[in-house]
Chains A and B, each alone.
Chain A
Amino acid sequence: MIVEAALIGLAAGAVSGMLGVGGGILFVPALVLVLGLSQVDGEATSLLAILPVAIVGTWRQQRYGNVRLVEGLLMGALAAAGTVGGVALVNVLPAHVVKIGFAVLLLFTAFQMIRRALVPDAEPKPEEAGS
């Protein structure tokens, strides 16, 4: 079980590195289905797991010159009210509503990924060649 959770964590990090997301879409199912947390506890703990991933991911992207650091950190700080509001909301919603909402999010993301898979790869940009 511990090995399985660690492997999903590894996969979440790899997805984060490839797609530029936090990896929560895999952390939450890993925490709920493999480690047995409740849906809300899984989502809470996912946010903690995302933190080191985002720090290392930003550092890597910064080296490739892909980060507008001031605007990114400012956007994160300006998101504070929304984030606290979202957390407050998830703590009062019925658990099954949260779970079904998350399942819809998974399916929507899968749909987006399928669309992406059906489109031929774009030509690599010049700055990607050596990175």
Chain B
Amino acid sequence: MPRVSRNRRLELLGIGTAAGVFSGLFGVGGGMIMVPLLILWLGYDERTATGTSLAAIIVISAIGATTQAFYGNLHVDDGLLVGIPAVGGVLLGTWLQQRVSMRVISGLFALLLTALAVELVLA
């Protein structure tokens, strides 16, 4: 990696490690950790931070899923059942991002997450 300085590698190691632990613990990509740190610490702009975070998530989710497979926790059929429609969702989401108010999306998303949190604890 000739273009990445030693200092930058250490910074990426720090952010990556935090995101990795978070990803392993919660089954998420870790973007919620990486995006703000890339912006606030490394000075990325918001869109570059989200795009670069997604590239890191490819590697993180592959490593996390492989490790979980060794524990025998992976349900491949269920993963495909939600993962394949989600690929269509990504294309829809990037299209929508250009056309719908982010405030409306954020508000609806917050309502959905709150309902899910309640249901998860009560279930």
How close is B75's CB to chain A, nearest CB, in angstroms?
5
Check: B40 CB closer than 8 A to any chain A CB. no
With A14-B89, A86-B20: A5-B82 Cβ-Cβ less than 8 Å: yes
Let me know if B87 and A90 touch, CB within 8 A.
Answer: no
Docked-complex contact B82 and A30, CB < 8 angstroms: yes
Q: What chain B residues lie within 8 Å of A117 (beta carbons)?
A: 103-104, 106-107, 110
Q: Are B34 and A75 in contact (CB under 8 A)?
A: yes
Interface size on B, residues (CB 8 A): 95
Establish whether residues A72 and B110, one from each chain, have CB atoms under 8 Å apart when the complex forms: no
Chain B: minimal CB distance from A3 (Å): 10
- Distance from B92 Cβ to chain A, minimum over Cβ atoms (Å): 5
B64 touches A56 (CB 8 A): no
Interface of A is mostly: helix
B residues contacting A by CB (< 8 A) are 1, 3-4, 8-9, 12-13, 15-32, 34-35, 44, 47-65, 67-69, 71, 73-76, 78-98, 101-107, 109-114, 116-117, 119-121, 123
**Could you list 27 A-B pairs, sorted by A, with CB under 8 Å?**
A11-B89, A13-B87, A13-B90, A18-B93, A18-B97, A28-B27, A33-B123, A35-B75, A41-B75, A45-B78, A47-B23, A48-B79, A51-B65, A57-B94, A62-B51, A67-B48, A67-B52, A75-B16, A75-B52, A76-B55, A82-B17, A99-B121, A103-B117, A106-B117, A113-B106, A117-B107, A120-B103
